[in-house]
Amino acid sequence: MNFDDPIVYPGQTGKSHLHAFFGNTGANANSTASSIANTGNSTCRGGTLNRSSYWVPAMIDTRNGAPVKPTTANIYYKTGYGGVAPSAVQPMPPGLRMIAGDAKNAAPGGQYESMPFGYSCDDGSGNSRSIPNCSAGHELWQTVNFPQCWDGVNLDSPDHKSHMAYPTGGGCPASHPVALPEITYNIVYLITASDSPTNWRLASDNYSNSLPGGYSGHGDWFNGWKQEAMDAFVRGCDQAALDCHSHLLGDGRAIY
């Protein structure tokens, strides 16, 4: 974890709220498209074949101000949703970066299914716009859904969102015609007997403590895949609509 954000605050060490980082172990405020793609190790399956950096606001236990360490992070590169045909999905372009959600959000928003972030417990109690009070022995999932339609030109935009769009239900809009894999984060926290999720808030939850925590949920993604591996994955898994788990390329090869 650190207080850096190479997308929102490039070159400004310690400028951001606290983030939990996954993937590229060298990611920091000074990271660039070149350094993400070519330096650092990786916590992802495939190691340095996928040096992408993934980060979310840290979960904070307000009883003592300490960050809560996630148990694991499951990252999905999906296809076949929102009317996007699997065969239409193209590989992520080198240097692409984006944000889903809004760090300044302070209200529950619309329906869970139509929002870029949400939470759930693994006990079948349903989805939530705020951090739920999952019981001990169960998992709390912090979910971020990224847009998958690219404008085909810009690798970033001033708000780090406008170059991307969500499918409209009939595929990608004309303004963002290039379909990419849909990235979803599921950040998992195993709840112990000493935990109290009702006292948890995101590091970005800069609004009244009288409201539930979690409304500012968001995530950042910075592409660091080796292009040959990304191309193979999209061709063998996404375009073929195959479940490749966390380490298969769909062509008989696996990455470890």
Concatenate the DSSP letters of all residues of 212-236 into one string.
PTTTT-EEEEE--B-HHHHHHHIII
The pTM of this model reads 0.95
Can you tell me the distance from the alpha carbon of 103 to that of 94, in angstroms, rounded to the nearest whole number? 25
- 10 Å Cβ neighbour count for 28? 18
Average the pLDDT over 46-55 and give the result: 98
Number of helical (H) and strand (E) elements in the chain, helices listed first: 2, 15
Residue 44 buriedness (CB in 10 A; 0-12 / 13-18 / 19+): buried
Interval 174-204: pLDDT, tens: 999 999 999 999 999 999 999 999 999 999 9
Name the token pair of 243.
């479940």
228 has a pLDDT exceeding 90: yes
Q: Which of residues 46 and 108 earns the better pLDDT score?
A: 46
- Lowest mean pLDDT, pick from 96-100, 107-111, 162-166: 107-111
Q: Would you say residue 120 has pLDDT above 80?
A: yes
Q: What is the mean pLDDT of the chain?
A: 96
Residue 147: pLDDT band by 50, 70, 90 thresholds? very high
Of 84-93, 113-122, 130-139, 207-216, the least confident = 113-122
Cβ atoms 158, 98 nearer than 8 A: no
CB contact at 8 A, 53 and 222: yes
Sorted by sequence, the CB contacts under 8 Å of residue 237 that are 6+ apart come out as 77, 243, 244, 248, 249, 250
The strand pairing partners of 178, in sequence order, are: 150
Q: Is the dihedral of CA 131, 132, 137, 143 positive or negative?
A: negative
Q: What is the pLDDT of residue 111?
A: 53
* Cβ 61 vs Cβ 199: under 8 Å: yes
Q: What are phi and psi of 232, to 5 degrees?
A: -65, -40
Give the separation between CA 24 and CA 7, rounded to whole angstroms: 14
Q: Are 99 and 219 in contact (CB under 8 A)?
A: yes
Of 3-12, 81-90, 106-115, 137-146, the one with minimum mean pLDDT is 106-115
pLDDT band, residue 114 (cuts 50/70/90): low
Question: Torsion over CA of 28, 33, 35 and 40, rounded to 10 degrees?
Answer: 70
Burial 124-139 (b: 16+ CB within 10 A, else e): eeeebbbbbbbeeebb
| 220 Cβ contact partners less than 8 Å away, ≥ 6 residues apart | 5, 7, 8, 19, 53, 54, 55, 56, 97, 98, 99, 160
- In total, the chain counts a number of residues equal to 256
Which of the four pLDDT bands, split at 50, 70 and 90, describes residue 124?
confident
